[in-house]
Structure 1
């Protein structure tokens, strides 16, 4: 009787192996479980500018790297808040009501809105392009995540930027920075600039704004007080980069960017970040969560590699020569 029972179990398990591996998940080379589930992902970015666009494209690429591809096993809905906090909140609430499997917020306001609306519904939130997640109240500490949220920080390499400005402008004394007073990332970055600037012989002249319409007037004032401008990744200011560059170029004051796209658009140089890589890192982190890793156990990560970018035409137009040694940093 016992032999017959064992034989029956063997038949059942053999049959089961054909379908489930006798209890084990069937996975492909990427480790994604083979099933019919299509994960619904919501992505919202706060503003429409190239660096955040790069984050979004990188996020999709990072998911694909880990086996999650649109049209196969994920559906991605992307919505832009057009730099309006009320719209960011509305988008987050819509994602929460739709019961997304995971959401991603690109830039602080969008990430904060998602966390407020989605975390309580147990929808995992991945943030991207947040300079100071702790100050933005999106992380408990650098090593401890808050429940339901984690992501990637784009903390700027401020010291590398100061070194670069000193190399290109050996006689400069004052650096101007315009920032949004309500953006936590910008406030914390200004503090770091002020802390490090004296080491390199600089004084920081900062001007706070509350909305984009204030930028032209503030530029008129700050350009009379500084030797150059260093632009942050402040969403409001970056959205008006054309105005900043137009006024600075007219005054023959160089503007240094904080990433490649700003330099492409006319800034002289930057010691900044690669926002495509930033997005890829966030996408790969999101894939871990979709594969079953508990989000609360994943502390946020920071992209640490500095990317140097130069615009020699912009420099030449201002009478600035960048040495071959400095240009070599881009390689």
Structure 2
């Protein structure tokens, strides 16, 4: 009997090591949440992630301990945060946004710590997944890939005479580079020309915005973390010139972007939390799960922004909207 019990204990231990972490609902697990920048869409991702974990039996203060760090859009700080999580031997790292995910995977690559990412536009380009969408290692998560073609269709319907769309982006963010390429590939199908303006730091945005606004009929904002952090500056300058700014998700429309066809980042976080729960329970290994994409994009519009710009949003869009806003959030 003793040998049988000992054998079972060895088997359980081997399975735990095999899956990297296999904590049950009754065990307390520690996860590190690294968020690249502080803005509402990424905050929503984090809140959704915790809600997704809770729905699967992992609740902060009960059987879940959370170490949360924000890199404030600083790549070197993101690296330090990732290294810190590894040194603390957390059970799992949740990395929010592409630069954080790249740093987390790099830090945990030679350990047994799984990395679950979210808000990564192109995991393949970010080298977090292979060309066939399989994980590059013990890493998986969710993509916030933009519905670019739907966005272009929407812009054309709202602005039938527009010709040039301006896009600001951080040249070091892989997610933005990927989105720019898709915009350029599809824009001609809708009679648009993309005018891009690459920046490398937040300090570049005011001048880059001024220059871009002299060349375009409207601006389409990406999920670029550096640019989103400076959205109020962009909206103020564009508003003074009566140039519409289109967002890429709901929070940007709340802030004053005219409209978007985008995803709900809270829902994205929930999906990510449920993926993480499978890993924590030992039901799946991160290395066995392909990344997932939310493809239920919806229209969001801001009637206050439309009024300021002197634009009437088409009725078929407003009638089909998931949500409309009649004010501009501070």
Q: Using structure 1 for the length normalisation, give the TM-score.
A: 0.89
1:326 offset after TM fit, Å?
1.2
1:116 offset after TM fit, Å?
1.0
Task: Give CA-to-partner distance per residue, 1:70-99, whole Å, 9 cap, x none.
Answer: 111111111100111111111111100000
Task: Give CA-to-partner distance per residue, 1:28-83, whole Å, 9 cap, x none.
Answer: xxx98354x21000001000000000000000000011111111111111110011
1:327 maps to which of 288, 312, 318: 318
Q: Using structure 2 for the length normalisation, give the TM-score.
A: 0.89
1:303 offset after TM fit, Å?
1.1
3-state SS, counterpart of residue 67 of structure 1? coil
1:317 maps to which of 308, 313, 316: 308
1:142 offset after TM fit, Å?
4.3
Matched with 2:163 is 173
- 2:73–2:226 contact (8 Å) kept in structure 1: yes
Matched with 1:306 is 297
1:249 offset after TM fit, Å?
0.2
Structure 1 distance, partners of 2:130, 2:223, is: 23
- 1:142–1:300 contact (8 Å) kept in structure 2: no
Structure 2, unmatched stretches of 5+, are: 6-11, 13-21, 323-330
Q: Please list, as runs of the form range in 1=range in 2, the aligned pairs for 1:13-32 lying within 5 A after superposition.
A: none
3-state SS, counterpart of residue 79 of structure 1? strand
- 1:260–1:274 contact (8 Å) kept in structure 2: yes
Structure 2 distance, partners of 1:285, 1:158, is: 26
- 1:259–1:273 contact (8 Å) kept in structure 2: yes
**What is the root-mean-square deviation in Å for CA atoms of aligned residues?**
1.8
1:147 offset after TM fit, Å?
1.6
Structure 2 distance, partners of 1:124, 1:161, is: 34
Matched with 1:103 is 93
1:119 offset after TM fit, Å?
2.6
- 1:106–1:128 contact (8 Å) kept in structure 2: yes
Structure 2 distance, partners of 1:32, 1:170, is: 55
Structure 1, unmatched stretches of 5+, are: 1-8, 17-22, 24-30
Structure 2 distance, partners of 1:197, 1:73, is: 49
Matched with 2:328 is none
Structure 2 distance, partners of 1:181, 1:44, is: 22
Structure 1 distance, partners of 2:77, 2:51, is: 26
Structure 1 distance, partners of 2:224, 2:175, is: 8
Structure 2 distance, partners of 1:152, 1:307, is: 18
1:74 maps to which of 57, 64, 81: 64
Query: Which runs of structure 1 show a deviation greater than 6 angstroms over 4 or more consecutive aligned residues?
Result: none
Q: Please list, as runs of the form range in 1=range in 2, the aligned pairs for 1:150-161 lying within 5 A after superposition.
A: 150-161=140-151
> Is it true that 1:194 corresponds to 2:178 in the alignment?
no
1:39 maps to which of 20, 29, 44: 29
> Is it true that 1:87 corresponds to 2:81 in the alignment?
no
- 1:142–1:299 contact (8 Å) kept in structure 2: no
3-state SS, counterpart of residue 244 of structure 1? helix
Aligned residues: 305
1:289 maps to which of 268, 279, 301: 279
Task: Give CA-to-partner distance per residue, 1:204-260, whole Å, 9 cap, x none.
Answer: 010111111111111111111111000000000000001100100001100000000
Matched with 1:214 is 204
Q: Which has the larger radius of gyration?
A: 1
